[in-house]
């Protein structure tokens, strides 16, 4: 591992901890050259399916795209970065467990909506407005009616 400060390759591990419900290892490191400390994270690399977009293009699944979309929906809302990371972890676990080679982006969006609705209803509405391409206030009204009609414990 190289030091992000000086670029030297002589670093040592000071502390190792398990994080994120056991799916990640956090290592605290120190550069032996400049003495700077930094943190690295190790995650199990799992094979995730390709995402089938609306226009039928196929793309590799990218966690960062998912997290960015969720974060955009949660701007200025009481949803922590940890809650967003856990939501992304749950979506990835669901994708992995499904075992499909390809999954429609709509399915991923539906899964995010279900979890986001439990975190913050307004964030769920914001997320839905993008992923379902709301074009008018009637689209918002219809979505909110469906949201109100759904049972709380889904």
pTM summary value: 0.64
Exposed / middle / buried, residue 31 (Cβ in 10 Å: 0-12, 13-18, 19+):
buried
Distance of alpha carbon 150 from its chain centroid, rounded? 24
Contact 117, 124 (CB under 8 A): yes
Note the pLDDT tens digit of each residue in 28-79.
999 999 999 999 988 776 678 899 998 999 999 999 999 999 999 999 999 9
State the residue for tokens 């999954």: 103
pLDDT for the residue 19: 76
Q: Nearest Cα to 71, choosing from 14, 21, 130, 26? A: 130
| Residue 152 banded pLDDT, cuts 50, 70, 90 | low
Helices (H), 1-154: 63-73, 81-98, 105-119, 121-131, 137-149
| Residue 151 banded pLDDT, cuts 50, 70, 90 | low
In this predicted structure, the answer to whether residue 154 has a pLDDT above a threshold of 50 is: no
User: Could you give the CA distance from residue 100 to residue 54 in angstroms, rounded to a whole number?
Assistant: 18
User: Could you give the CA distance from residue 117 to residue 112 in angstroms, rounded to a whole number?
Assistant: 8
Q: How many residues does the chain have?
A: 154
pLDDT for the residue 71: 95
Domain ranges, ordered by start, for the chain: 11-43, 50-149
Note the pLDDT tens digit of each residue in 76-117.
999 999 999 999 999 998 998 888 899 999 999 989 988 998
Q: Nearest Cα to 105, choosing from 70, 61, 154, 45? A: 61
């Amino acid at each position: 591992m190289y030091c992000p400060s000086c670029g030297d390759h002589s670093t040592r591990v000071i502390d190792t901890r398990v994080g994120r419900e056991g799916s990640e290892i956090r290592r605290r490191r120190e550069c032996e050259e400049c003495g700077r400390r930094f943190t690295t994270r190790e995650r199990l690399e799992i094979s995730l399916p390709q995402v089938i977009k609306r226009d039928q293009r196929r793309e590799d699944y990218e966690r960062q795209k998912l997290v960015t979309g969720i974060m955009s929906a949660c701007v200025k809302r009481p949803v922590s970065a940890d809650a967003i990371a856990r939501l992304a972890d749950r979506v990835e676990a669901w994708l992995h467990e499904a075992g499909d080679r390809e999954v429609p982006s709509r399915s991923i969006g539906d899964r995010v909506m279900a979890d986001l609705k439990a975190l913050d209803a307004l964030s769920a509405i914001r997320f839905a407005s993008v992923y379902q391409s709301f074009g008018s206030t009637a689209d918002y009204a219809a979505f909110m009616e469906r949201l109100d009609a759904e049972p709380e414990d889904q």
